[in-house]
Structure 1
Amino acid sequence: MALDKSDGEIHVSFMTEVVSKTSITYKWPKPSDDLWVSKDDIICEISAPSAVGRSERAFALDDSTLKLIENKFKQK
């Protein structure tokens, strides 16, 4: 995680959601989707998603991470 100490912004790399009939996974978009975001706009920090599938180009969030995100959104 990169932090710009001069203005308190954090460099964030966003993933794209992939929804199938059986699961929700995420992948890195091409081109990359990176942005400097104010610390005030970040609701929580999550652990790295786990690679899934044979190619390991898709990623999944564990249930505890999904619950954390859901709870943080409810608090906002």
Structure 2
Amino acid sequence: MIKKLIQHGNSAALVIDKPIMELLNISFDTPFEVTTDGRNLILSPQTVGNEEIDIMKSLEKINQKYSNALRRLGE
């Protein structure tokens, strides 16, 4: 699919067709992460809540590995 940028004020916008939005399960308020590899623009829907889950998993691993040392430091 070939798309062209459209002017949106002083910026450029890319219109995403509704079937693609439905396929990706995104909406108008979905946050996106925009990155590049130096040649390509990479637009990825940001999954809300994964950061908190990742942090909790990391904390659980840390507690399992260093629970004794952390307990002694807390005394």
Normalised by the length of structure 2, the TM-score is: 0.23
Normalised by the length of structure 1, the TM-score is: 0.22
Structure scoring higher RCO (CA < 8 A, sep ≥ 6) equals 1
Q: Which structure features the higher share of helix residues?
A: 2
